[in-house]
Structure 1
């Protein structure tokens, strides 16, 4: 299959991820369908515990035991071939050939992800030596160029350093360099700016956007910061308890959010363009995200939803419906609204 502009670079089809524990099974990802186009940015948003990071790790078969892909497909379009990453052995050679070379990942905590006993040069250059067969000297030359590319002022010193000798912002730049070392077609960033100050956050996001513009890399960004989403996303997937409840272009999601959960997330964001009443409090979402071990017959958000319909939302699974060709949501209320008969012409004139 030859990739065309209309062909997604990556497709998730009914992806399900489970963690089988001694006393229960955790259903972390529950039938997720997503697609990513070359050169585009997909942002996955939602509260903690909604399955965002597990989805990202599943794409690269990096699930910690006892996690496993229980069902579904992860289709990667590689030139003329279509590879199902979900069907690969997590420790097998085929998936190792994809990691780093075709897909790179920026983890949330670089200090926990980088080895404390190896220099930055060794860690960033390891993938180059494995995938391209470079010598250590050849890899070092490319590492220095890459460290300079990600905005580190003294690449030689950084390359010789160990992680504990560098600041958080420098470590995150090193993580980006490591993820981009083999020029992957897909970059997955799992909340890459969470632990950084505001200025460094802006620098890291600007760096990712510039690298994308220079290389055409497709980006999957996991975040809870809707301000970041508005700035860099092309497409947005809103996840709740392992499911995608709303999906579409960023302009549609922000201009016309249709799922009550998406609407609640938008209302909970402090906005500088909307005057606040003195002494008023920010809006919040009542309740908590249920445990991922919870399995309900109805909508997972029903217990927290201000629009929930008794006897429907708590008992029946909502079907995904199209708002337009690119914007979809899974909500009983939106289905009910769509089924309402249109007003007659005479009524419309009176209105």
Structure 2
């Protein structure tokens, strides 16, 4: 209880409370370190939003992409982010999401819209009555499911404590599937290599399609922070893809001499594979029409399965037992 309350104090919105709790922790940490802590048996958590397990057959490098950085900027302390430029904020955010370190496989997850070879996206919309969450999350390492479910549920709990309106979108994808195109200068066109292709996974059998529940590429509306305007030829292909039952995402990141195409697709209607593959090839054939710099992304989930959670300022108190040995004894010998 002492340690929990100390941590709570160090996370308090009041800087004076944070400093006081930090001082208390530093003054008492050696004594706290001697507290007896046993691994207690715990029931498996039920995921608050759907989590699927699809074992991966290849190595995955998870990378995080998120738009709506203004959401993060507005939610943080004024004095800490006011003087941070967008590039610094973007780097901070990506490191924050990935555990303050190098690119890694945090959960080996995969699926932004259906499953993104490595990760997926979680989109949240905050409103006056609570939080609405659309998600498509696939875990690619079954041994990590308890930890992954715990992390997903913690995100939901934290979102329920945010009392402001706004939209936050994020996805995780496999960097090993990113396509890279180079050009000599910003005045030149990007040209895809002849053997270049946007990869996708194919469902072994048709997955049930219910058009009343489909989640569209375009229903979320334009993102004010995605400044790259895609050519009409690519937008037309994306609209055609939208009519084929699939899940996935594609993100175009145009730099002065470099174009990155991040993608994850899973086709859920095997009968449409030829049409699907042709449309993906048409996207690459049109990259020479991309002008300007910036990012533009589209994500599609298999179904519209929005989960609603009412606001909750805090979870019920749940402290580590005062006598853990007695606690375990009672559990094993009721």
- Give the TM-score of the pair, scaled to structure 2: 0.26
